[in-house]
Structure formats: C-alpha cells, structure tokens
Amino acid sequence: MKDGILERLRKGPVLGAQGYVFELERRGYIKAGPYVPEVVLDNPDALRELHSEFLNAGAEVMEALTYYAHRDKLRIIGREKDTRRMNIDALHIASDVARRSGALVAGNICNTWIYDPNKPRTFKVVHDMYEEQVGIAASSGVDFIIAETLEYVGEALIALEVIKKYDLPAMITFGATYEESKDGYDWIDGCRKLEEEGADIVGFNCIRGPSTMMPLIRRLRKRVNGYIAAQPVPYHTTNKLKAFQFLKYGGRSAFPTNLDPFLATRDEMAAFAAEADRIGVNYIGICCGAGPHHVRAMAEVLGRMPQASKYSPNLSEHSLLGTGAKLRNSHEKRFLKKWK
C-alpha cells in the first residue's frame, strides 16, 4: 500500500506541480478569461499529456483539473450540465497517469467568486458547490484534497469543513493578492486559524512569484508548527508589484496573456525550491505559468532524478559551448546565492 500525503511529508518535502490551466491555454485548449477547464471533455488527450509531462519531470502529485469546474463558472459558459462529468473525467485522467509511478492523486476546489462575508446566504451556496466537487473526488478515491487560491479565510473554513466531512487530508492555500485576506485577516493568522481548525497543510499558491512569496513563507514557517506549502507562479513579481495580476507590459496590464517577458527561468525556480527546502517548507511546488522544464529543475535540486532527467542539459556536449568536461548544470550552486 502506498504512503499517503501525510506519511510522505513526514519523510521529507513533496514536490507538486499545478498551473495546468495556464499551460493548456498556451497550448490552445483553454480560453483565457473564463479559464474553465473545458479541455477535460473537449480534448482529454491534451490534459493527459500534460499530466504525463509533469509526472515525468518529477511531480509527485497529480492534481485533478477541477479548478473552476464548479456550477457557477460552468453556468457562465453554458455548460452547467457538464459539471459532474467534467469532475469525474478529470479525476479519472489524473488517477490513470498517477498509477504509472505511484504518484498521489489530489482532488481540487478553489475560490468561487461567490463568497461574501456580509451575505450569509452565500455561505450555503459555496458549501454546496464544494460539497458536490469533494463528494465526487472522495468517491473517486483521491489521496487528499487541495483547496487553493482562496482569498477569504471564511471561504477557506467552509472548504476545510467540507473536506473533513469526508475524512480526507486537507491542504488549504491562499492566493495572497493583497497584504491581508479580503475579510481582514493577516495571512499568517489566517493560516494558523486553519491549522487550529484541522487543516493538515497550510500555505500559499499562485498570485505571487518566488521573490514576493518567499517573505510570506519565511514568516509562516516561524509561526506554524505543522506542514506548510509554497507554490508560487514562475513570474518576476516585485516588492512594488507583488502579484502577477499587477505586472505591466507596454504601459498596459500584462495579465493574463502578455506575461511572457516576466517568466522565470528554470534555474530561478530551482533556486526557490532549494531555499524553500532549506527553511523547512514541506510541500514545494509551482503554479500558473509552470512548464515541465521548471518542474524538472525543481525536482533535481531537491535531489530527485525523474525520468525527464535523462534529457537534462549537458552543455559539455554542445558544439559551441562544450569544453569536454562534464559540466552538467548545478542549479543550487549557481543560483542559491540569490536567497542568501
């Protein structure tokens, strides 16, 4: 019997890889704007291929692509009737790929854009949407549930309540667009509250790049005793523009379709993974904008040799750059110094 997420975290960091929606949009299978994962039903082979690429690159968790696969988002594009089938098929695809190497399978729920702390009637709407998705995931035999990119602590608590009803490990991560949650919590206090209420893993995903997520993670590690997660976007956010939604290109918003000039390199993401491991982050990953080359570099700096490492760079064999020596790139030695 394979170890579950908590058993694996006890042994060392687990490498996750998210960002399916952005990568599949780049490949032409998801529409920017609604970002609903229609690819699950319309082009399942494209989704299966991306899961496979992330798995080969070293990802240890296959997260089902059910981000925004809830009734409200599907209603907007006229596909509400496909809600159940989209969730079931996404879970089956993730499970099929995970079985190739013993990777874990995570169900997924996310921010709803419905929750309003001043309108209690929205609480039940959100609860019912999460109930539907988590119920399907639980019946599909997932190993744990990731509730991600949440901006309200109140919404995160609803997600946690639903997950725990099914007796599944819960990983809850916030999208820290602003300096505090939309319902007024300091981010670290919000994580602590979730941990106190029974969340198994807490932390952050998406929104912030490595340089602007790292300060939050350092604070979190000092104030939370349990497992923590960090999955930044691979973009060059700054102290002035901490979220990738705020980046500008040519005087206009770069988000979401003109972010290419800000994309982090594989070595920069490896440096983030190395530093996250050094300070004690337990679940290390990457979010929107991720490519398999980022994942492989992160896996290798964490000491793994995934299948894709067979094709890792070896510039000693390059006709112009080679020296005859085995100069395989050492991400940690070259780039870890930036975090010192």
Q: Quick: pLDDT tens for 277-326.
A: 999 999 999 999 999 999 999 999 999 999 999 999 988 888 787 765 44
Q: Which two tokens stand for residue 288?
A: 């929107």
Q: What is the DSSP string of 247-304?
A: -EETTEE-TTT--GGGBPPHHHHHHHHHHHHHHT-SEE---TT--HHHHHHHHHHTT-
What is residue 327's predicted lDDT score, i.e. its pLDDT?
A: 43
Rounded distance between C-alpha atoms, residue 59 and residue 299, angstroms: 7
Can you tell me the mean pLDDT for 120-141?
A: 98
Residue 100 belongs to what domain range? Answer: 5-339
Closest to 241 (Cα-Cα) out of 286, 208, 288, 203: 208
What is residue 318's predicted lDDT score, i.e. its pLDDT?
A: 83
Using CB atoms within 10 A of its CB, is residue 135 exposed (0-12), middle (13-18) or buried (19+)? middle
Rounded distance between C-alpha atoms, residue 166 and residue 171, angstroms: 14
Q: Is the pLDDT of residue 95 over 70?
A: yes
Helix, coil or strand: residue 333: helix
Q: Is the pLDDT of residue 336 over 60?
A: no
The one-letter amino acid code at 230 reads A
Rounded distance between C-alpha atoms, residue 340 and residue 336, angstroms: 7
User: Under a CB-based contact definition with an 8 Å cutoff, are residues 230 and 217 in contact?
Assistant: yes
Total structural domains within the chain:
1
φ, ψ of residue 231 in degrees (nearest 5): -135, 85
Using CB atoms within 10 A of its CB, is residue 141 exposed (0-12), middle (13-18) or buried (19+)? exposed
pLDDT in tens, 246-288: 999 999 999 999 999 999 999 999 999 999 999 999 999 999 9
DSSP state of 11: H
Rounded distance between C-alpha atoms, residue 276 and residue 272, angstroms: 6
Tracing tokens 């991400």 back to the chain, one arrives at: 331
Question: What CATH number is given to the structural domain containing 155?
Answer: 3.20.20.330
pLDDT in tens, 63-85: 999 999 999 999 999 999 999 99
φ, ψ of residue 141 in degrees (nearest 5): 85, 30
User: Under a CB-based contact definition with an 8 Å cutoff, are residues 56 and 13 in contact?
Assistant: no
Q: Is the pLDDT of residue 161 over 70?
A: yes
Helix axes 266-279, 292-301, angle to 10 degrees: 40
pLDDT in tens, 184-242: 999 999 999 999 999 999 999 999 999 999 999 999 999 999 999 999 999 999 999 99
What pTM value is reported for the model? Answer: 0.94
